Amino acid sequence: MTTAAQPAGATAAQPAGATAAIGHLEERLRQMRDGGRKLLVPYVTGGLDDEWLLTVEGLASAGADAIEIGIPFSDPMIDGPTIQEASLRALRRGTTPEGILADLARLDTGTPLVVMTYYNLIAHNGPRRMAGIIAEAGVSGVIVPDLPLEELGPWADAADEAGLATVLLVAPSTPPGRIAAIADRSRGFVYGVGRMGVTGEQAELADSAREVAVRVTAVTDLPVCIGIGVSTPDQAVEVCGVADGVVVGSALVRRLLDGEGPLGAARFVRSLRQALDGGRTRR
Amino acid sequence: MTQRGAPDREVPPAAPLMGDPGPTGRFGEFGGRFVPESLVPACLELEAAFRDAWGDPSFRAELDGILHSFGGRPTPVTECVRLSGELGVRVLLKREDLAHTGSHKINNVVGQGLLARRMGKHRLIAETGAGQHGVATATAAALFGMDCVVYMGEVDTRRQELNVFRMELLGAEVRPVSSGSRTLKDAVNEALRDWVASVGDTHYCLGSVMGPHPYPWMVRELQRVVGDEAREQCRTLLGGRDPDVVVACAGGGSNAAGTFAGFADRTASALVGVEAAGGAALTVGVPGVLHGMRSILMQDEEGQILEAESISAGLDYPGIGPEHAHLAAIGRARYESAGDEEVVEAFGRLARSEGIIPALESAHALAWVLRAAGTPALPTGSTVLVTLSGRGDKDVGQVRDILRATTSGSRR
């Protein structure tokens, strides 16, 4: 079980419930985007250590516009070494999906939460039951990276019913007609995959990150955030020349694995925030 | 194991038994294409290329020609005279151990290698458990002049050291995988991770009837030659009759799928797949999604994938191909399991009574025959065809160690 204690300063809020989650994510992100703010979505592996809820709270106060929580799976196929190690570490602590969600239900940061997990953890419980549990935890969006458009049916229906936004991904390899179809079915925002490859830090922003941002923003009014291969404040600013925002995962999780703790994580996210705010005039 | 969760099943259109699963790649409620968006276009491209090639007589003729002149096909069916006498059951073996590289895996890799060339890809990647598929892929890469990288669990590289060296001799690079359980399932994860980053010039030469559509269908079609040959050979041997029972071992299940494809809708033969007791998805698994497919998988109560564990690296997979899950669900095939001890016994028995050393994987199918002979599942006087998927040279050292440990009194 994820047994992280009630973090200091967290209010014991009632679970927000499905109705509160409806539209929460998209409304919030649109509002920010339309106000000229670049969106910052940090990722942290749920149940990574005893302090992970403090980390989430710290990210919220450091300027995150939404926070992505990874629910660890035994076989994280699209993740590189950093997130793999974090997942393994969390699982060895006895972290479970329901434990993470129970912990999240106690958080009230005011920042929308999005969970990311592989489809088996949903299928195993049944999409409808899992959507219910996720929504009851006050989470407003879900990313399922191994669930492409064609396989979306049972989950998307259950998620819609529970008021959860299913965030879909567009890859550099996605052909134009398909981009429009994905953007059309995506809720909350569209997750643009910055490079062909697994999650992980990169020394330089791939050309494909900008290209994906250009292609997706051209066909949708939804906020478009680029993730996978966005590791530094400079890279975040660069891709936000086109995109509405960024998702930063491995660069943050690596700091947690290195023992920088909630404070180090918050410091890093604040540096991303400041860089993005400095680049506000771009759009 | 856990209760089955509320299923998210859709009602699939009726498809012919072991036919084309159509664009959704569904076998009943199983199969599909559960891959990251980055890989969807590659899977679609591969499906279209395979559909096109498989319908092209010149592709089929070239494949048949290579499998004949290079692969050693057709492989014979051998009657086990002494074993049959001992068991009271007529035992026939489909001799895939006699195919080039020592197993049925060559059928699949020559087909996929040709297809990769047709698609303009010049690099092959593969996962391997026991090393048979890795060796076969390295062989195809050498034959077609392609680069080759094989992912193999760290545990398996130690269990199958000689196969690692064989792959290297053939010019392939073997990358040990140290994530997760360090066996076959993790090698698949790592190959998929490579493919996401390399899909432009690389073909993922998947080794079994698993993974995202079109792999389960494509690999079964490429292995169908085993079943088609065996059916005709049995009819010649048996005066036009079919065997009463057809048996094959199943990890992912490619030799079983190829064998069953020759019999499923054209004969009344009973079909039996035999899994390793430590990797018996269809005995202890529940529906789930892994490696791009919906199938039956060994999982804990949260849905985390369990690690398979058996004597044979080739069967150490916590799932099974989706079409097998479907054949089990509709009752056209049934799936049994065999334990390590009876497998070692079957391994030695075939060697002594017939002069054939089987792969440990294949010995699972034989172990079931030894156990079932004379029971209602395989009555006295009946005829059974066993696909001997590979030869046991690779396993001789491991079996020697097990037998020495046993005879020196340290059993268990």
Query: Could you tell me if B172 and B244 lie in one domain?
Result: no
Could you give phi then psi for residue A161, rounded to 5 degrees?
-60, -35
User: Is B133 an annotated catalytic residue?
Assistant: no
Of B6, B41, B303, the CB nearest to A173: B41
CATH number at residue B54: 3.40.50.1100
Q: A17: part of which helix (H) or strand (E)?
A: helix A17-21
Could you give phi then psi for residue B240, rounded to 5 degrees?
90, -5
**Contact between A146 and B42 using a beta-carbon 8 Å cutoff:** no
Of B189, B199, B297, the CB nearest to A77: B189
Question: Per DSSP, what are the bridge partners of residue A245?
Answer: A39, A225
Pairing mode, strands B292-297 and B286-290: antiparallel
Give the neighbor-by-neighbor strand order of the sheet with B286-290: B26-27, B30-34, B292-297, B286-290
Task: Give me the count of residues in chain B.
Answer: 412
Mean pLDDT of the B335-345 span: 97
Q: B32 touching A, CB under 8 A?
A: yes
Label residue B231 by pLDDT band (50, 70, 90). very high
**Contact between B196 and A197 using a beta-carbon 8 Å cutoff:** yes
Q: Which residues of A touch B37 (CB under 8 A)?
A: 145, 148-149, 168-171, 173-174, 182, 193
Give the per-residue pLDDT at B409: 56
Give the per-residue pLDDT at A8: 40
User: What is the least distance, in Å, from the CA of A47 to any CA of chain B?
Assistant: 15
A99 in Cβ contact with A126 (< 8 Å):
no
Q: Is A228 inside any structural domain?
A: no
Query: Could you tell me if B372 and B279 lie in one domain?
Result: yes
Q: Is A176 inside any structural domain?
A: no
Range of the domain at A115: 37-167+234-278
Q: Is A172 inside any structural domain?
A: no
Interval B113-123: pLDDT, tens:
999 999 999 99
pLDDT at B130 over 90: no
Q: How far is the C-alpha of A60 from the C-alpha of A66, rounded, in Å?
A: 8
Q: Is B365 inside any structural domain?
A: yes
- Sheet strands (E) in B181-255: 202-204, 245-249
Q: Is B266 inside any structural domain?
A: yes
B153 in Cβ contact with B182 (< 8 Å):
yes
Q: B292 touching A, CB under 8 A?
A: yes
Q: A6-44 in b/e burial notation, b at 16+ Cβ within 10 A?
A: ebeebeeeebbebeebbebbbebbbebbeeebbbbbbbb
Range of the domain at B331: 73-103+224-407
Could you give phi then psi for residue B214, rounded to 5 degrees?
-100, 10
DSSP state of B241: P
Query: Could you tell me if B320 and B278 lie in one domain?
Result: yes
Q: Is A45 inside any structural domain?
A: yes
Interval A41-65: pLDDT, tens:
999 999 999 999 999 999 999 999 9
Could you give phi then psi for residue B29, rounded to 5 degrees?
-90, 0
Query: Could you tell me if B373 and B351 lie in one domain?
Result: yes
Q: How far is the C-alpha of B235 from the C-alpha of B243, rounded, in Å?
A: 8
**Contact between A124 and B286 using a beta-carbon 8 Å cutoff:** yes
Name the token pair of A14: 């009632």
B242 in Cβ contact with B310 (< 8 Å):
no
CATH number at residue A242: 3.20.20.70
Instruction: Please enumerate in sequence order all residues whose Cβ is within 8 A of that of B286, keeping only pairs 6 or more positions apart, or say none.
Output: A124, B1, B2, B4, B5, B296, B297, B299
Of B24, B34, B303, the CB nearest to A124: B303
Label residue B1 by pLDDT band (50, 70, 90). very low
Q: Is B400 inside any structural domain?
A: yes
Interval A236-257: pLDDT, tens:
999 999 999 999 999 999 999 9
Helix (H, G, I), strand (E, B) or coil at A224: strand
Q: How far is the C-alpha of A149 from the C-alpha of B130, rounded, in Å?
A: 35
ipTM of the complex: 0.92
Q: What is the mean pLDDT of chain B?
A: 93
